[in-house]
Amino acid sequence: MILQIVEQVAFAILVLFAVIVLVVILSSAIRIIPEYQRAVKFRLGRVVGVVGPGLVFIIPIIETIMRYDLRIEVVDVPAQRALTKDNVEVTIDAAIYLRVIDALKTALTVRNHVPAVAIYAASTLRDVVGMVDLDTLLSHRDEIAKRIASIVDEHVTPWGIKVTAVAIKDIKLPEVLLRAMASQAEAERVRRAKITLASAEYEASKIYLEAAERYSQNPTAVQLRMIDALIEIAREHNLIIVTPPTMEYVALPVAISKKEQK
């Protein structure tokens, strides 16, 4: 009786062990590839093909797979110090946008595609910056970024990788150059302000000249203008108003205005 119980227990343990081994084998033989990924299958080191998405079966130990994400990846290019065409040292921060379009080419051509593209983009960035001057670099940043993206994309296309864009995030200039540019900008603003003021004075002088010519042609208008000026003065709290002898007839309406105000 005891022997039968021992045999049953041993059989149960054996069955349990077999189930565990089977589960482990199945778990290592089944792979689920998402829609945004592809996998390159190798059998004893030879390429079988690209599999996925969905459920993928592999033979444990004999077959292996390499996964590749087909979505766009953003890679930060390390800050690069470069000399422009006019020998100005700048530090540039950039980012590169890339995606894998052919997983098989990528698996067979390049080992670590992300750092490989980043290093080549950094080298291309320095080369392109060295071909332009500082003013072009600051004013045509988008065009320079497109040129870098085109050069890098042409180089990495055989790797099964597509470079969609390059973004120049920041351009750092030396402190001395920044101060010089600030002084130049301030001088430019002062120049424009002086030109605007001089233009306004010139326009005003032309208007004054036209008014003087019209007053010279019509003395009555001059007297009326004087009356208006005296009336404006009379509105203030002045008690005595002195007028020239030639304007005695003008002082009368002013005195009447003062009397009415009191």
Token pair 């996925």 in the structure block, residue: 52
Tens of pLDDT, residues 131-148? 988 888 888 888 999 999
Beta bridge partners of 50: 40
DSSP structural state of residue 247: G
Q: DSSP label at 45?
A: T
β partners of residue 65:
41
pLDDT in tens, 161-193: 999 999 998 888 877 765 666 666 767 777 787
Q: Which regions of the chain are under pLDDT 70?
A: 1-4, 6-7, 22, 26, 177-184, 186, 214-262
Confidence (pLDDT) at 194: 78
Report helix, strand or coil for 73: strand
Q: What are phi and psi of 242, to 5 degrees?
A: -100, 125
